[in-house]
Structures are given as C-alpha cells and as structure tokens.
Structure 1
C-alpha cells in the first residue's frame, strides 16, 4: 500500500516537473511574441508618421 502511494507520488512529481518546463517554455515564447509585436507596432507608427508627413506636404 505504501509502495503504491510512493509510486503514484513519484508519477505526480514527474508530471508536475514536465508541466513546469512547458509553462517556462511558453513564458519564453510569450516574451518573444511580445518583442515581435512591439517591433510591428513601431513600424506601423513610423509608417503612419510618414503618411501624415506626406499628407501635410501635399496639402501645403
């Protein structure tokens, strides 16, 4: 009975460790996605600024 409980607890420990690794990897991937989104946002802002500058020059 005790041996089976220990075996089950070891199994749970392994699953928790695996889950922790997956969550950590997802956290790293989320940071990467956040960086990419920031770059895209910066490019979009720059593009809008350039568009607005052209519109102002055209209307002068």
Structure 2
C-alpha cells in the first residue's frame, strides 16, 4: 500500500501510460483501505456479539 501511494505521488501526471497506471493504483489503494476498514468493523461487531452472548449466558444459573 505504501509503495502504491509513493508511486502515485511521485510520478509526473503528463505521461499517458503512467496516468492510467496511477488511476488503477489509486483505485486499488482505495479498495484496500475500504476492505481493511470493513474487516475491522466486522471484527468489532463479532467481538461485541460474543461479549453480549457471553453476558446473556452468565445471567442463567
């Protein structure tokens, strides 16, 4: 991810071939960030559900 960001910011925007590669790398970088955030949200929801389930079972004796 860092290499893609460095490439995007360091290349000159006047080259056509590099321009299309910059566009693809930008999309992939955005997709990677979204997937990481989505994975974190799913993990937090799963952890919250587990804690809630465990707490509901602790009330029963």
TM-score past 0.5 threshold: yes
- Which of 29, 38, 44 is the matching residue for 1:33? 38
Q: Which runs of 5+ in 2 are unaligned?
A: 1-14
Distance 1:29 1:47 in 2: 27
List structure 1 segments (4+ residues) > 3 angstroms apart after TM superposition. none
Report how many residues are paired: 47
SS of 1:55's equivalent? coil
**When you count helix as a share of all residues, which structure comes out higher?**
1
Structure 1 unaligned segments of length 5 or more: list them.
Answer: 1-9
Structure showing greater radius of gyration is: 1
Root-mean-square deviation (CA, aligned residues, Å) is: 1.3
**Is 1:42 aligned to residue 41 of structure 2?**
no
With normalisation by structure 2, the TM-score equals: 0.66
